[in-house]
């Protein structure tokens, strides 16, 4: 099965909303930097998750264009894991520059970086593992419909 662009977009949105949302809900209170069960902490982590989602759609379009030069028109599975580096770096850069609307972080400290790094990494790895393994059981048709969920 080769995931179509539509299937990859649907899968990315579904996984970030469902898994990313649940992981962020559980992980936010235990992140470094004094995050607690308060609205501001959840606001920051969910705005970062939303930024990853929106930029991820743009990244998928870029990846699709690059994949057209490959013979099989798809990425090797491990490359899907490694793309976390460029996507995470871009989101961190936007956070550091203050370009994420709704988040006011002047001079982000090391604890803010580690909170971002842990949250982003845990979500990315969980989604990658689930998508490349167990998701194929409950969503058996997902594999045969180009990765489309709907």
pLDDT digits (tens, 9 = 90+) for 60-115: 999 999 988 988 877 888 888 999 999 999 999 999 888 898 887 666 677 788 98
Domain around 130: 5-29+39-144
* 34 in any annotated domain: no
Nearest to 28 by CA among 92, 94, 102, 123: 123
* 137 in any annotated domain: yes
Asked whether the beta carbons of 120 and 86 are under 8 A apart, the reply is: no
* 150 in any annotated domain: no
- Taking each helix axis as running N to C, give the angle between helix 39-67 and helix 5-15, from 0 to 180 degrees, rounded to the nearest 10: 170
* 19 in any annotated domain: yes
* 22 in any annotated domain: yes
Q: How many domains does the chain have?
A: 1
pLDDT at position 24, please? Answer: 95
In 3-state terms, what secondary structure has residue 128?
helix
- Give CA–CA dist 53/12, Å, rounded: 8
In which band, very low, low, confident or very high, does the pLDDT at 45 lie, cut at 50, 70 and 90? very high
* 136 in any annotated domain: yes
* 78 in any annotated domain: yes
* 47 in any annotated domain: yes
């Amino acid at each position: 099965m080769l995931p179509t662009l539509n299937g990859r977009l649907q899968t990315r949105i579904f996984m970030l909303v469902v898994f990313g949302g649940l992981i962020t809900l559980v992980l936010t209170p235990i992140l470094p930097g004094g995050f607690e069960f308060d609205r501001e902490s959840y606001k920051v982590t969910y705005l970062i998750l939303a930024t990853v989602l929106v930029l991820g759609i743009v990244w998928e379009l870029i990846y699709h264009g690059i994949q057209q030069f490959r013979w099989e028109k798809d990425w090797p599975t491990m490359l899907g894991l490694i793309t976390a580096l460029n996507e995470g770096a871009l989101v961190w850069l936007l956070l550091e520059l203050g370009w994420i609307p709704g988040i006011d972080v002047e001079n982000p400290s090391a604890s803010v970086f580690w909170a971002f790094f842990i949250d982003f990494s845990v979500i990315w790895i969980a989604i990658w593992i689930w998508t490349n393994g167990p998701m194929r059981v409950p969503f058996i048709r997902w594999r045969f419909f180009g990765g489309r969920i709907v």
